[in-house]
Amino acid sequence: FLYFPEMHGISFKIQICVKELLDTDVLLKLLFHLPVNYPSTLPDISVSSDQLTRAQCMEVKDKLLEQAKKHLCEPMVHDLILWVQQHLKDVIKQSATVCNEKTTLSKGTEDGIWMLLLHLDHMRAKAKYVKTVEKWASNLRLTGRLMFMGKIILILLQGDRSSIKEYMVLQKTSKIDVDSSGKKCKEKMMSVLCETEVQSQHKRFQSFEVKEYSTLEELQKEFETAGLTTLFSEFVPPLLR
């Protein structure tokens, strides 16, 4: 620690692992800055995590500051760490609810619910690739399908426009697959078939699922059930040529 009593107070970073959140362990990085007159002044707190969205990290930070106010004038860092370990699950659930309410209100605006249809040329490391896509969809609260039919691989996503954009960045910049020599590589053979706002006739997917279809008819049925017949007929048959 570097400690300058008259000037800055003290800063330190703590990493904690919260078990079994969304079926995965979440690694939280908490940065505390304790001012000179702590604990009669609240600490500055910043929260980051690779498993949570920026909005979720902000929500955790806000809740921690709420808790800190209850402990004003007494040492609180240890209590705050215990609190976040016990309550992280609830905070994330609440932020998902708030987010869903917001998206309902903002339908029809720039930030409404959007839909993305991607075509992938191949997956060499299929199991790892699928797991990564599922994790991203879960973290960004996107619903939809990862669809396999013969050699066709499609990813259909629905969610906040900002989350869709964030997903695209991850898909393009992460080393998600392996090349012919087995080295990790970025996705270079992906094409965006369609990106559009979800219309009233489209049904919302309730979850993100990975599905395999043995016939084109089965795949077509999936699109039709979601009210996406036009999307299917426009983009999928050409992939078979």
Write the DSSP symbol of residue 4.
Answer: B
Q: Is the Cβ–Cβ distance between 178 and 184 less than 8 Å?
A: yes
**What are the structural domains of the chain?**
10-96 (3.10.110.10), 113-239 (3.30.70.100)
Instruction: List the one residue out of 148, 157, 140 whose CA is nearest residue 193.
Output: 157
Q: What is the pLDDT of residues 86-135, one digit of tens each?
A: 888 888 776 555 444 444 443 334 457 899 999 998 888 899 999 999 99
Quote the pLDDT of residue 177.
Answer: 83
- Does pTM surpass 0.85? no
Residues of the chain with pLDDT under 50: 1-6, 98-110
Quote the pLDDT of residue 209.
Answer: 95
Quote the pLDDT of residue 130.
Answer: 94
Quote the pLDDT of residue 35.
Answer: 87
Angle at 199 between CA 193 and CA 203, to 5 degrees: 90
Nearby residues of 35 by Cβ (< 8 Å), 6 or more positions away: 9, 41, 43, 44
Quote the pLDDT of residue 89.
Answer: 83
Angle at 193 between CA 210 and CA 179, to 5 degrees: 65
